[in-house]
Amino acid sequence: MPRIRKKTSKRGTTHHRERIKHKVSEHRKKAKKQARKDKAAGRVRKQSKKDPGIPNAFPYKDEILAEIQQQRLEVYEGGQGDIDMIGENDGHGFDGVTSLKRQPIPLPQAQKRKTVVDAENSESKIPATPVYRGPSTLREVLDKADVLVCVVDARDPEAGISEVVMKEAKEKGKDMIIVVNKADTIPRESLVEWLGHLRRTSTAIPFRVSSAFMLPYDSPAKGAKAVRPMDDALGSKALWSQLESFANRKECDELVVGVTGVTNSGKSAMINSLFGAELLPIYKPLSSAEAAKLPYTTTTAQEVVASIPGSESLKVRFIDTPGLEFSREEFSDNSERCAARARDILLRCRGRLDRLKDPISAVTHMISRAETQDLMLAYNLPAFAKGDTTAFLAGIARVNSLVKTASVLDHAGAARIVLRDWSSGKLVRYTVPAGLNGSSSPVEGDEEVLAGLRMRKELRKAKDVMLVKLAAGEMDKRDVSLDQEWEEEENEDSGDESERDEDESEDGEDDGEEEESGESDVDEEEAPELLPPAPSPPATKRKRTVSFATPEKRRRGRAR
């Protein structure tokens, strides 16, 4: 019969007690045996002792805790302890890069520090001048300019040159200069080969903007504030010398220079470096909500005037223009359209590339141009066939433990890791001009930039560099909107929201707000009218009747 009464004693049995002792003894034996093996193999495990904190018997414990709390409060109020959190929709993408221009971007650990640019210590060689409003179209800039400066990215220079703009400038008889910006991001041999290739058709000058206008990737000493100068640009002397020669040849008091190029090629940063002051807004990955409200890139043409160093009588008027806007092409195949879109995204490298809706298409275009062996060495992956995107992303997913349910590898998450390395500059890429015959030697003015560059062998041996060679891109042959007027960003924000929604719906770019509003209207129409709840009946006590058997009934029951 089962026991009904609950056991009152918590005392265990002897068998249970001896079983626990045996387990503890076996565990200690295994730990000692493993420690002897580790010691013989040279693997010594040091057990870090846990901080016990401030003892309760310490007489000044309250004062110390109050001081620690005050320090934490000061750090929080100063903004040094703020960490950009990723939102709930971080896993979701978007159908473009420009739509996230107002959102904060979480920076790497080396970039979370607050960089202070001391304007007093960086004395400008050229005094700052006011900024004037420039022409409204690109055609007006080409008509007004005496010299056309095309700023390209040194990692893929020819892909940033527009054939239509260069042809238009040649027909108008304009002098042209190709400024190979971001020259410090590629090996020395690659820059020399590109300069020799570009100088066959026009003047090419290597350039590196000032440190104050570059995104810092180095981590300084803890607690130290980085002071980055504004007048340490490389290649500025050669550029000023070339502009001075053009001004002397034209025999004019003021030389008009039009600066063009694709988005995020460094046009405004180059002008700021020549002036030694931050006159024009430059593109920066936004690291805070306050910085997100500032202008993120050039939206209209702006003019600044300065005197050539050493020749105060000669003045140069720079016209900074927005990025080139190409006309939309009609593609017969969807794959061609995706490849063209991926090429533009990777070339401009603006915004949160890791939040694309389809990150695999962009990575596919990159893998089709990259050397397979370089990718294997960069990400420490096993061998895979050239152009095999699936095998490449599968290897990255295994290395980073990106596995979904049922052991399915997360290829999209692996693609976002590659795009994050691409946009942050961790993935160092370079190209070599196709069909280069013979070796090209640098000119006299190039030594200022080439002296600080590392060779290809040195970059491959470096541990913190992921060097990848890409196939060189071709010159852009698409039509450029020469007569389209540039509009200020403020007018777009302050305009009528209804008109803006109609325009966006016609373009088919951003219909999310209209769809949400339409769904809400349907919900409001179909929602039934809510009635107040019916009053509940008053609670009544249930009457219980208890009957007791009389002695006579009991006797009768026993008799039966």
The C-alpha atoms of residue 8 and residue 10 are separated, in whole angstroms, by 7
The C-alpha atoms of residue 157 and residue 491 are separated, in whole angstroms, by 33
The C-alpha atoms of residue 548 and residue 496 are separated, in whole angstroms, by 87
CA torsion angle for 8, 13, 19, 25 (degrees, to 10)?
90
Q: Which residues are within 8 A (CB) of 270 and not within 5 positions of it... i.e. 6 or more apart?
A: 151, 179, 181, 207, 209, 259
Q: Residue 390 belongs to what H/E stretch?
A: helix 389-399
Span 448-459, mean pLDDT? 89
pLDDT at 551: 53
Per residue in 92-148, pLDDT (tens digit) is: 443 444 444 434 444 444 444 444 444 444 444 444 467 888 888 999 999 999 999
pLDDT band at 43 (very low <50, low <70, confident <90, very high): confident
Per residue in 502-539, pLDDT (tens digit) is: 443 444 444 444 444 444 443 444 444 444 444 555 55
pLDDT at 487: 73
pTM of the complete model: 0.64
CATH 3.40.50.11540 fits 131-215+229-320, yes or no: no
Beta pairing, strands 132-133 & 427-432: unpaired
CB 279 within 8 A of CB 128: yes
Cβ-based burial of 107 (10 A; exposed 0-12, middle 13-18, buried ≥19): middle
pLDDT at 230: 83
Other CB atoms closer than 10 Å to residue 90's CB: what's the count? Answer: 13
pLDDT at 421: 92
pLDDT band at 80 (very low <50, low <70, confident <90, very high): very low
The C-alpha atoms of residue 435 and residue 432 are separated, in whole angstroms, by 9
pLDDT at 46: 65
pLDDT band at 373 (very low <50, low <70, confident <90, very high): very high
Per residue in 400-438, pLDDT (tens digit) is: 989 888 889 999 999 999 999 998 888 999 999 987 655
Beta pairing, strands 311-320 & 302-308: antiparallel
The C-alpha atoms of residue 284 and residue 293 are separated, in whole angstroms, by 12
Structurally, at CATH architecture level, domain 334-426+465-470 sits in Orthogonal Bundle (1.10)
More confident residue, 64 or 253: 64
pLDDT at 517: 41
The C-alpha atoms of residue 278 and residue 298 are separated, in whole angstroms, by 13
Per residue in 224-257, pLDDT (tens digit) is: 456 778 888 899 999 999 999 999 888 888 899 9
More confident residue, 46 or 314: 314
Q: Is the pLDDT of residue 382 over 60?
A: yes
Cα-to-chain-centroid distance, residue 458? 27
- For the chain, the average pLDDT equals 77
Query: At residue 511, what is the residue type?
Result: D
pLDDT at 94: 39
Span 50-60, mean pLDDT? 82
Query: At residue 63, what is the residue type?
Result: E
pLDDT band at 306 (very low <50, low <70, confident <90, very high): confident
Q: Which residues are within 8 A (CB) of 352 and not within 5 positions of it... i.e. 6 or more apart?
A: 97, 100, 103, 105, 423
CB 213 within 8 A of CB 277: no
pLDDT at 11: 86
3-state secondary structure 456-501: HHHHHHCCCCEEEEEECCCCECCCECCCCCCCCHHHHHHCCHHHHH
pLDDT at 437: 59
Per residue in 193-230, pLDDT (tens digit) is: 999 999 998 899 999 999 888 865 444 444 445 677 88
Domain range summary for the chain, segments of one domain joined by +: 131-215+229-320, 334-426+465-470
